[in-house]
Amino acid sequence: MEEFEKELTHLINRHSIENMADMPDFLLAGMICRMIEAMGPSIKKTLDWHGCDSVYHPSPNAEHDTRQQQNNQGGKT
C-alpha cells in the first residue's frame, strides 16, 4: 500500500485535486488509503453474507443457485 500511496500522492498533485479538498496531496492520499484499508473487512463480510468470494468470483454454488431460481420462476404462472 505504501507504493500505491506514493503514486496516488503524485497523481493527486499532478491533477491539482488537493485544491478541491483544500488538503495537501500527501494527506489526501493517506486518507484515501486508510479508508480503503478500513472498508476492506466490511466489504468482505458483506460478500460473505451474500455467499460469494467477490463480485467477479461468485461462490461455486452461485451458478447452481441461479439455475435453480430460473427453473422455479419458469414454473410459476
Output the pLDDT for position 77: 45
Query: Domains in the chain: how many in total?
Result: 1
User: pLDDT at position 46, please?
Assistant: 84
**Blockwise average pLDDT, block size 10, the chain, 77 residues:** 96 94 95 92 84 65 57 57
Please give the pLDDT value at position 25.
95
Q: 9: how many CB neighbours lie within 10 A of its CB?
A: 20
C-alpha distances in Å from residue 43, one per residue of 14, 28, 30, 52: 30, 22, 20, 11
**Domain range spanning residue 53?**
2-74
pTM above 0.85, yes or no: no
Q: Which of 69, 47, 43 is nearest to 58 (CA)?
A: 47
